[in-house]
Amino acid sequence: MPRTGLSQPELRHAIIEALEVNVRRYGLERTRLVDVAKSVGVSHSALYKLFADKQALLDEVSDRWLLHIEAQLETVIKRKIKAGSKLHEWFVLLHQLKLKKVQADPELYAAFNMASSSTRPFVQRHLAVNTAQLEQIVQQGMDAGEFKTTDVRTLTQTLFAATLAFHHPKLVLENLDKDRLSQLNAVLKVLLEGIAA
């Protein structure tokens, strides 16, 4: 146990919180791990025992945010509404959560945006969760006779690709000054009409 008196999970959490504070205050480029360690009350070397480097720590911050998004999207899946309505709500919520993050935390979102262009494990995990959630909704729609498909995976991939402009981090960031909700609603209307049984 470190001299802070915190357990290892508590210390990891404190370090992640400290990184977020530093990035918000000084920006991504000016944030140094030595300052993060100092603000938590541990040595620089103690921090490196938990996180290999700055990128590993930024990945943890991004992953924590994505886990929060996934949990909120899961609430849509559990709603007692038609699958078509669930698909619509799921995509709108995904768009809104990413838009809200970039508006509230531009520096942290920039870190996430950089990582999302790679094949980092936390990005792949998030995409797998998104796919599983969508497949669940599509299967519900098939079982209820709402959707005219027998290929859950292909339809899921098509829906995700067709709406990518509204939830890919880079594209959300590039269109920050535009209100695209009505455009997303129009795209979803066309997609849902196209797959309706």
Average pLDDT for runs of 10 along the chain of length 197: 72 92 86 91 90 88 92 96 97 95 84 72 92 97 92 96 93 88 97 93
pLDDT at 1: 41
List, in order of start, the domains of the chain with CATH numbers.
Answer: 8-50 (1.10.10), 63-195 (1.10.357.10)
CB 93 within 8 A of CB 73: yes
pLDDT at 142: 95
Lookup: tokens for 120:
């980092």
pLDDT at 146: 95
pLDDT at 134: 97
pLDDT at 54: 87
Distance CA 182, CA 43 (A): 50
Residues 6 or more apart in contact with residue 30 via CB below 8 angstroms: none
pLDDT at 114: 72
pLDDT at 77: 95
